[in-house]
Amino acid sequence: MPDSLDRPLRLILASSSRYRRELLERLRLPYEVIVPAIDEAPLAGEAPAATALRLAEAKARAVALGIDAGQRALVIGSDQVATFDGHPIGKPGTHEKALAQLQAMRGREVEFHSALCLLDSGDGSAQVEDVVTRVRFRDLPDAELDAYLRTETPYDCAGSAKSEGLGIALLDAIDSNDPTALIGLPLIALTRMLRSAGYPLLRGAR
């Protein structure tokens, strides 16, 4: 619980992602960003959902280790793994790899695991949740896929399509109970966790 409603706990986002920062800004809460230093490689034989959950908590715990013992903070860790035909899909990095991803996924469904962890550095307790989003891609010709990529250059996004931007034109349907999960930070789940931790969510808004 926070020390008082007038002085809430520090809120720290354990992420280097600009997309997660932009999403957290929507809550109008004071927060800090500390980038965790962890190995994000999946473990051998690890299921995609398990990878996302493990890394979300690992990011939060890595940042919590650097917080002074006399302080308390709520640390937000998040990780997303996209899967297609049961295999994880990484960030393409290049135009050629992004085009290959979109070509393989057109007319098909892709599953995104957006894992979230809210860690209380005071006692080490953590709330964790995997928010699943299913996305069905339209069956579009190569020329349209290529034109989209050259317009939005989403090479740092798993799945090669930004649903919050022009990438929505590539999608036929999105099935999720948290619309922000696909972008990278499930805000419905996060606000639920913050309330459970006693954080004065609306009174702390700026």
Residue pair 59/14 in contact (Cβ under 8 Å)? The answer is: yes
Which phi and psi (to 5°) does residue 145 adopt? -65, -45
- Of 3, 79, 120, 142, the catalytic one is 79
Question: Count of CB atoms within 10 A of residue 33's CB?
Answer: 16
- DSSP-assigned states of every residue in 160-205: S--TTTGGGGGEEEEE-S-TTTTTT--HHHHHHHHHHTT--TTTT-
32 in helix, strand or coil? strand
Q: Which of 195, 167, 169, 170 is nearest to 183 (CA)?
A: 167
Residue 79 catalytic? yes
Catalytic site residues?
79
